[in-house]
Amino acid sequence: MKLLWIAAVACCAFVAGANAQTVTKDTGYPTKPVRFIVPFAEGGAPGLVSRRPARGQGAQAAGFYTVAFTIPPPYPTKPIRFVVPFAPGGGTDIIGRIVAQLLHEALGQPVVVDNRAGAGSSVGTDIAAKAPPDGYTLLLGNISLAFNPALYRKLSYDALTDLAPVTLVAVQPNIVVIFPGLAATTIGEFAALARAKPGQIAYASAGVGAGTHLAGVMLEQILKIKLLHVPYKGTGPALTDVMGGQVHMMVSTFASALPHVRSGRLRALGVTSAKRSSATPDIPTLMEAGVPGYDYSTWYGLLVPARTPRAIVDQLHRKTLSALAQEDAKRKLEAQGVETITDTPAEFSAYLKSETAKWTGVVRAAGITPQ
């Protein structure tokens, strides 16, 4: 009996194995859990995706969940804040408002100028550097970005790492202007007057460490004169006091001073660039007028917070270049004594680094104590 029982069990096992093979041959694949590879990030493709083997019947039992294909919204879809880190009425503000209008037309959204003056542009620059990197905060930086690292002991931002350059926008010479009641009609006469009254002839600037300050320092160094520096919170208020005679001289941007030169409220002694400006061909350069080696121009550039998506930076670059290439845009800027100039984000980044190194040397040579 025992042998018969063993034979019966063996027979059943054989039949079961045969049936299993038959089932396998009939059903084929699959015989074990299946891994389903989705070559997209989670949330990036439509369909049902499971991260565990199926148990029971249906998608829910298998642990499937639905993911949506997410398409980034087009840029821009709302107004853009355009930080101008100087007071209203100054040269940077005037250029900023022209550029803001051009960008509004190019991007199809309002571009709202936000003047945030203070600390030689550091206040407004800090606001822009710490804004969300989403393309909705732009900064019109100027040459002060290169001055400030040497002028301030501790900045709350690093322009080279916390901002992403988009493109240079414009460059303009500056112009030396004086109160018309001052007994000087040339830079030579002004220098003689300053030597006769050392420390008594006052010159205004847009603030300690601003370009208008360092331009005055450079003039003192070359002419070997001693002037009294009077800093203001912006070019506009400074020029107002020059016109009123409270201070005597200023190295101003063309955009701010030129209308007052033409009206006779200011007297121009010379332009600061190496060649004469097409806006004022009758006014000599300072080098022509007897100030050897004096060459200083202000540049303006468009920047965004670091980590702004590359696609947005590229779009802003394309739109800005297209806007600045229009003849109407060139005429508006040239009317302010400004020449349009553009480059790539990489070129602007390299230029900002070289300018920072250059002006750090100038500040140190001038003996200006960092604040």
Q: What percent of the chain has pLDDT over 90?
A: 59
What are the domain boundaries of the chain?
Answer: 80-172+297-366, 173-271
Kindly report whether the peptide bond that precedes residue 231 is cis, defined as omega within 30 degrees of 0: no
Q: Is residue 145 within a helix (H) or strand (E), and if so which, with residue range?
A: helix 144-151
pLDDT of residue 72: 63
> For residue range 352-366, what is the model confidence (pLDDT) as tens digits?
999 899 888 878 877
pLDDT of residue 57: 53
For 173-271, CATH number? 3.40.190.10
Number of helices and strands (H, E) in the chain?
13, 12
Q: What is the DSSP letter of 121?
A: G
Q: Whose CA is closest to 293, among 281, 285, 301, 282?
A: 285
Q: β-strands 297-305, 137-142: how paired?
A: antiparallel
pLDDT of residue 20: 47
pLDDT of residue 73: 73
Q: β-strands 111-115, 80-84: how paired?
A: parallel
> What are the tokens at 133?
């990197």
User: Residue 54: pLDDT band by 50, 70, 90 thresholds?
Assistant: very low
Q: β-strands 202-205, 249-253: how paired?
A: parallel
Task: State the virtual CA torsion across 179, 185, 188, 193 in degrees, nearest 10.
Answer: -50
Q: β-strands 163-178, 267-271: how paired?
A: antiparallel
CA atoms of 367 and 92, how far apart (whole Å): 27
> What are the tokens at 255?
């955009």
Residues 202-219, mean pLDDT to the nearest whole number: 88
> For residue range 217-251, what is the model confidence (pLDDT) as tens digits?
889 989 999 999 999 988 899 999 999 999 999 99
Residues 182-209, mean pLDDT to the nearest whole number: 93
Pick the CATH number of 80-172+297-366 from 3.30.300.350, 3.30.930.10, 3.30.2350.10, 3.40.190.150: 3.40.190.150
User: Residue 22: pLDDT band by 50, 70, 90 thresholds?
Assistant: very low
Q: β-strands 163-178, 249-253: how paired?
A: antiparallel
Residues 67-75, mean pLDDT to the nearest whole number: 64
10 Å CB burial of residue 154 (0-12, 13-18, 19+) is exposed
pLDDT of residue 41: 55
Strand-pair partners of 251: 176
Question: pLDDT at residue 194 above 70?
Answer: yes
Q: Is residue 80 within a helix (H) or strand (E), and if so which, with residue range?
A: strand 80-84
CA 274 vs CA 94, 112, 176, 277: distances in Å = 23, 35, 14, 9
Phi and psi at residue 210, to the nearest 5°? -70, 165
CA atoms of 121 and 106, how far apart (whole Å): 27
> For residue range 155-174, what is the model confidence (pLDDT) as tens digits?
999 999 999 999 999 988 89
> What are the tokens at 327?
């003849």
Q: Whose CA is closest to 217, among 187, 240, 251?
A: 251
Between 130 and 26, where is the model more confident? 130
- Whether 80-172+297-366 and 173-271 share one fold: the answer is yes
Question: pLDDT at residue 13 above 50?
Answer: no
CA atoms of 342 and 292, how far apart (whole Å): 29
Question: pLDDT at residue 96 above 90?
Answer: yes
User: Residue 49: pLDDT band by 50, 70, 90 thresholds?
Assistant: very low
pLDDT of residue 2: 47
- Lowest average pLDDT, out of 22-26, 75-79, 209-213, goes to 22-26
Determine the longest span between alpha carbons in the chain, in angstroms.
138
Q: Which residue type is seen at 354?
A: S
Q: What is the pTM of this model?
A: 0.67
Q: What is the DSSP letter of 59?
A: H
What is the CA 221 to chain-centroid distance, rounded? 32
Residue 152 gets the label, from left (phi > 0), alpha (psi -120 to 50) or beta, of beta
